[in-house]
Structure 1
């Protein structure tokens, strides 16, 4: 049977070059456009964040991250996003709890409201990232413009190009997009070789990643202490930390339908979102200001001084950030779950290092991020990629591959952090 499958794969005709060449220009255009839109929304949100969290409290003589100010800003953010969801045409898209990275093609009228809700969320402090709504906006724009400007190309091409481009722009490298697309293609009957099928998406992701790199110069390397040659103790540590992080992540995943159902019973976005913002403010009062926002800048602050917090403080930030992710994703804020889950994994890994000094901080961080992302995203390749990217160590990669096996067994087949429209968990 295996021999027949291999023989069938080897005899699959490759796509001729003349069929792939017309994809290059559209892919490059979509890639550059997707990156610029992401950078524009991020820049606008950052400017508003400075106003909300620096200029206003300084002018009012209130502490920037005082409990009172965090409660006020997060509740006000819930009100602002609630108004967008309630009144703006399209209601800022579907319930974000029902969507993942594979975004549906939304009508153009929905996209401005979704962008506005995303920018307000990013500036106001809820624990979500930009990935899901930005992918949805880029998919909608690419599909609408592509079908009109290049009607001869397949209509299904544009969403794939836009999704790959946005993922490439988010991580500053096309590798993550190639892994996501390859995972999505697994098990499908492909026309031509795998590389033929990822040719266009990879070109879009490369153009987007290069645009992001040239404009914003992003880096994901946390600058943690270098990891040397692994030993048997490191193998035990990575297995335990990754599996424990996956189990902790599954607590939030299994709680997701119930928390989402509780907010859904509030019925109106002008009730659910302000209440969610208030809960997030209370959580921030417990966990501190580092548990606010999407978490990408905050993990850099944690990693700059791994010994700067005790194991109890790391544990508190881990639990609070995971709870904040759960609430923000349940009450209706428009955002993605990858970046806050990365913060949870980083804090969890540094907590393991603080508890057991023999656990190298780079190893703890990589294993914590791996396990948490496997539970929250169910994207195995992306989880491995992000975990390795943060520590920039080839020596850890083999350990992570081994640790992914028991962690994956703990999460596979379980409910995902996504629900159907009727509120039942997605599997």
Structure 2
């Protein structure tokens, strides 16, 4: 009888020796600190300009800061200003933002100043977008350009992942978000070695980016909502209803995205598309009020400080108006990301659920609604869970969020994403 020999496969991939990881520390530290400082600098400049445009200037003119007239004028003017940048500045402020996600391509250096200028004007002017996508794109472009020249022997793929991790760490004030995004991206690619070996350099960059932002700007995402006690059966039922409902609402915007984008594209010129988008955003601001302006992070804090200060109908109006404003701003050509305004949509929806059914704890309503909206808008599962959890800072809500993510994910997986291909069709 022939004797069969079997060869046992290794239980796991071999780990990398320390000497293979040590050379990545210095590049990761430099990229992390530089990416954070660029983010903080652009944000600070935009905030100062915002104070002028929405404070000093209307006060000097004797116009109400949040009057319908001023909101409309400012949003149309912002559309004109960004349109001029897209039209005239070299590089045209980068590719169509509807085609970009968090994993930005390495853009040529000539494109980056115009993209930064368009982003700062957008952040100050009031459209409902955040800084994440363009800031990641700028940091990726700078890191790739400088890194390949200063360290030509380093892998070319190193610089984009370091810059992306550093920027995400800076945006959220913690490297955990960066590690989650990178690990989710690595899950779909061939990977050499252990997961933590592959995460070592990105996590270093994300840590340095987060610590730099924390030391310089002191960011916080905790809304200060009342903490939850021990979860009950009713809390689980509420989580399993709110998160899928929020995901369905977010998917309405996702399905409308290519059609709204195509409508603005028919105008063919940035000096028509962006002012027209500003006019629509001005009309939406008149309907939803000033809290539906800007990226939404400060405005979310204002909602959370007084969860009982608005009726369910008012929360519902703010939810729908902010979602529509996000859809229009992302479609007409403003440079910006969708995570922060999606957080506002989820927060307003969660507080609406609490106002309709007082038995729904406000922390639970906000966390599960933010989770559902982010799953639909970003299709980033770990980031959605992480963001929802840190907003309420309540350990009791974590298990409920994991349970709520399952039906919400079933509703969004395999569906079109809120990102378009070059031909205008939605990515999947």
TM-score by length of 1: 0.98
Two-structure CA RMSD over aligned residues (Å): 0.7
Report the CA distance shift for 1:76/1:48 in structure 2 as closer, same or farther (over 3 A). Answer: same
TM-superposed CA distance for 1:152, in Å, is 1.4
Q: CA deviation at 1:413?
A: 0.4
Q: CA deviation at 1:278?
A: 0.5
User: Within 5 A, what are the aligned runs for 1:113-132?
Assistant: 113-132=114-133
1:19-30 aligned within 5 A: 19-30=20-31
**Distance across 2 between alignment mates of 1:43 and 1:69:** 23
Structure 1 Cα separation of the partners of residues 135 and 357 of structure 2: 39
Distance 1:374 1:29 in 2: 32
Corresponding residue for 2:5?
none
Tell me which residue corresponds to 2:195: 194
Aligned to 2:361: 360
**1:327-378, CA deviations, whole angstroms, 9 ceiling, x for partnerless residues?**
0000000000000000000000000000000000000000010000000000
Q: Which residue of 2 aligns with 1:91?
A: 92
Partner of 1:317: 318
* Aligned equivalents of 1:126, 1:241: Cα separation in 2: 27
Mapping for residues 91-240 of structure 1, pairs under 5 Å: 91-240=92-241
User: For residues 38-72 of structure 1, what are the alpha-carbon distances to aligned partners after superposition, in whole Å with 9 as ceiling and x for unaligned?
Assistant: 00000000010001000110000000010000000
| Structure 1 pair 379–167 and aligned structure 2 pair: CA distance change class (3 A) | same
Task: Compare 40-49 and 11-20 and name the one that shifted more.
Answer: 11-20
**Deviation, structure 1 residue 187:** 3.5
Which residue number corresponds to residue 3 of structure 1?
none
Provide the residue aligned with 1:79 in structure 2.
80
2:45 maps to 1:47: no
1:381-409 deviation per Cα after TM superposition (whole angstroms, max 9, x unaligned): 00000000000011100000000000000
Query: Residues 190 and 322 (structure 1 numbering): CA distance in 2 closer, same or farther, change over 3 Å?
Result: same
Q: In 2, Cα distance between the equivalents of 1:78 and 1:421?
A: 23
Q: CA–CA distance in 1 between the matches of 2:337 and 2:52?
A: 23
In the other structure, the counterpart of 1:265 is: 266
Q: For residues 121-140 of structure 1, what are the alpha-carbon distances to aligned partners after superposition, in whole Å with 9 as ceiling and x for unaligned? A: 00000000000000000000
Offset of residue 8 of structure 1: 4.9
Q: Does 1:296 align with 2:297?
A: yes
Matches within 5 A, 1:346-425: 346-425=347-426
- Deviation, 1:188, is 2.4
Question: Aligned partners of 1:266 and 1:226: how far apart in 2?
Answer: 49
**Alpha-carbon distance between aligned partners in 1 of 2:399 and 2:238, rounded to the nearest angstrom:** 13
Q: Displacement of 1:197 after TM fit?
A: 0.3
CA distance in 1, matches of 2:264, 2:190: 41
Q: Shift in Å at residue 221 of structure 1?
A: 0.5
Q: CA deviation at 1:14?
A: 1.1
Counterpart mapping for 1:241-256 below 5 A: 241-256=242-257
Residues 89-142 of structure 1: per-residue CA shift (max 9 Å, x gap): 000000000010000000000000000000000000000000000000000000
TM-score, normalised by the number of residues in structure 2: 0.98
User: In 1, distance between residues paired with 2:317 and 2:311?
Assistant: 10
1:278 aligns with 2:279: yes
CA distance in 2, matches of 1:9, 1:324: 53
Q: What count of residue pairs does the alignment treat as equivalent?
A: 421
Return the alpha-carbon distance in structure 2 between the equivalents of residues 168 and 29 of structure 1: 14
Looking at structure 1, the residues matched to 379 and 12 of structure 2 have their Cα atoms a distance apart, in angstroms, of: 32
1:4 corresponding residue in structure 2:
none
| C-alpha separation in 1, matches of 2:222 and 2:425 | 38
Moved over 2 A (4+): 7-11
**Aligned-residue offset at 1:189:** 2.2
Distance 1:290 1:157 in 2: 40
Unmatched runs of 5 consecutive residues or more in structure 2 = 1-7
Give the stretch that moved more between structures: 91-100 or 178-187: 178-187
Q: Distance in 1 between matches of 2:316 and 2:336?
A: 24
User: What secondary structure sits across from 1:47 in the alignment?
Assistant: helix
**1:9 shift after superposition:** 6.3
Question: 1:202 & 1:398 partners in 2: Cα distance?
Answer: 25
Deviation for aligned residue 1:168: 0.2
CA change 1:135–1:9 in 2 (3 A) is farther
Q: Deviation digits for residues 5-42 of structure 1, max 9, x if unmatched?
A: xx756342211111100000100000000000000000
